[in-house]
Amino acid sequence: MGEIERWLENLDIERGKSSWLRNIFDKMGDDPDLDEYIRPTDGDVWDFIGKVAEWINDPNKKGIPK
């Protein structure tokens, strides 16, 4: 199981190679007005993506962080 799968394992998604991503997006939902819509939480995949974006956009970065 990869890191992204661990962040989203509570969604109980079938992890087939060809359908995994579509299943994730289907389960997360697309209407924030619905109760079952999955919202970002502290420490989840969206925090990780945000940190990657900050690093990419940092003009003073010096290589890959440890």
Q: What is the mean pLDDT of residues 47-57?
A: 89
The answer to whether 23 and 14 have CB atoms below 8 angstroms apart is yes
pLDDT-based confidence at residue 47 (cuts at 50, 70, 90): confident
| Residue whose token pair is 């997360």 | 28
Give the span between the Cα atoms of 36 and 17, in whole angstroms. 25
pTM of full prediction above 0.75: no
- What is the structure's pLDDT at 58? 93
Q: How confident is the model at residue 14 (pLDDT cuts 50, 70, 90)?
A: confident
DSSP assignments along 12-58, one per residue:
-----TTTHHHHHHHHH-S-TTSTTSPPP-TTSHHHHHHHHHHHHH-
Q: What phi and psi, each to the nearest 5 degrees, are found at residue 20?
A: -60, -50
For the residues 35-45, what does the mean pLDDT come to? 86
